[in-house]
Amino acid sequence: MVLILDSSALFSMEDLPAEDIAVPPGVIDELRRYNDRRLDRWGDLLRVSECTKASLDKVRGAALGSGDAGRLSDVDVSVIALAIDLDGIVLTDDFSIQNVCSIMHIEYRPVGMKGIKKVEKWNYRCNGCGKWYKEKQNDCPVCGSSMKACRKR
């Protein structure tokens, strides 16, 4: 069994599990960006692996369908894609990663927090004019205001 860890999992851990661990390169970059000293201890224990384009495309498609595409970073998408490629279990405290894993039937485990209770679908609402969108926009195309993610009801 391979455990695929995202940055939130690593930030929550004091010690690594005694199992095969893999991370996409972006997770290592995030740890470096935050000057996380655990990387000095764990660097040799983390297998860094790239994911395939086919898996990235599958994850992006599922994230678009749930509305999570605007909530997931490229690194988040690569964590889920790596779990597909390595048939791994994702360790994460990120609710959007857990949401997409649930939709895609990929096993995940929360680390420092409780996991999601149910799958959520997301829409986006303009903070200015109130118009709703299925996909996240940087700014509202109608009035230029910022957007807010809202659970689809």
For residues 75 and 142, state if they share a domain.
no
pLDDT at 36: 83
Q: What is the CATH number of the domain that holds 27?
A: 3.40.50.1010
Domains in the chain, number: 2
Same domain, 44 and 101: yes
Kindly give the pairing relationship between strand 2-5 and strand 89-91.
Answer: parallel
Task: For residue 78, tell me if it sits in a domain.
Answer: yes
What is the CATH classification number for the domain harbouring 140?
A: 2.20.28
pLDDT tens per residue across all 153 residues of the chain:
899 999 988 888 888 888 999 999 999 999 899 888 888 888 788 999 999 999 999 999 999 888 888 889 999 999 999 999 999 999 999 989 999 999 999 999 999 777 777 777 777 888 999 888 877 778 888 898 988 877 766
In a domain, 29, yes or no: yes
- Find tokens 């909530």 and name the residue: 71
What is the SS3 assignment for 68-133? HHHCCCHHHHHHHHHHHHHCCEEECCCHHHHHHHHHHCCCEECCCCCCCCCCCCEEEEECCCCCEE
pLDDT at 153: 60
Quote the pLDDT of residue 117. Answer: 74
Q: Are residues 56 and 91 in the same domain?
A: yes
Query: What's the pLDDT score for residue 40?
Result: 83
